[in-house]
């Protein structure tokens, strides 16, 4: 009886594995998933998002200082802009969050307070 129980258990696990593999392949070939992906791509084209890295947000004097420091350490010229009541120093134009995060990792070595900001185009 023990041998037949072991065989039954092995057979059960084999069948479960086989069913899992077949069910996963059914989902990857599903037309509704392809349709949703197509709609998502279309939406992304219409509602494009841009990411920038904000180095600083605060007083004018400190903002100008941060801008100069950035230009000495990295390529590119940060944008200095005023949004009442604070000055902002922003750099870059990234079309994906992953690109912005990669750049942020390098920038944070010198500017620890830097963050990624999202903009709708």
Among candidate residues 64, 88, 91, the one with its CA nearest the CA of residue 77? 91
Q: Where are the alpha helices (DSSP H) in 1-121?
A: 2-28, 31-46, 60-73, 97-107
Q: Which residues contact 96 (CB under 8 A, 6 or more apart)?
A: 51
Residue 39 shares a structural domain with residue 64: no
Among candidate residues 114, 60, 72, 112, the one with its CA nearest the CA of residue 92? 114
| Beta partners for residue 81, in sequence order | 88
Find the domain containing 71 and state its range. 49-120
Q: Residues 80, 54: contact at Cβ < 8 Å?
A: no
Residue 40 shares a structural domain with residue 53: no
Residue 8 shares a structural domain with residue 56: no
pLDDT string in tens for the chain (121-residue length): 555 666 667 667 666 766 665 555 555 568 888 888 888 778 777 778 899 999 999 999 999 999 999 999 998 899 999 999 999 999 999 988 999 999 999 999 999 999 999 987 6
Residue 58 shares a structural domain with residue 114: yes
CATH of the domain at 91: 3.30.70.1070
Residue 37 shares a structural domain with residue 60: no
Residue 102 shares a structural domain with residue 54: yes
pTM: 0.63
């Amino acid at each position: 009886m023990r041998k037949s129980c072991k065989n039954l258990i092995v057979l059960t696990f084999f069948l479960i594995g086989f069913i899992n593999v077949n069910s996963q392949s059914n989902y990857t070939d599903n037309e509704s998933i392809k349709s949703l992906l197509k709609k998502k791509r279309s939406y992304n084209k219409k509602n494009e998002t841009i990411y920038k890295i904000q180095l600083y947000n605060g007083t004018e004097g400190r903002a100008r200082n941060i801008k100069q420091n950035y230009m000495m350490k990295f390529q590119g010229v940060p944008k200095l802009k005023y949004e009442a009541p604070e000055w902002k120093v922003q750099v870059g134009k990234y079309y994906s969050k992953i690109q912005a995060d990669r750049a942020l990792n390098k920038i944070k070595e010198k500017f620890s307070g830097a963050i990624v900001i999202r903009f709708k185009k």
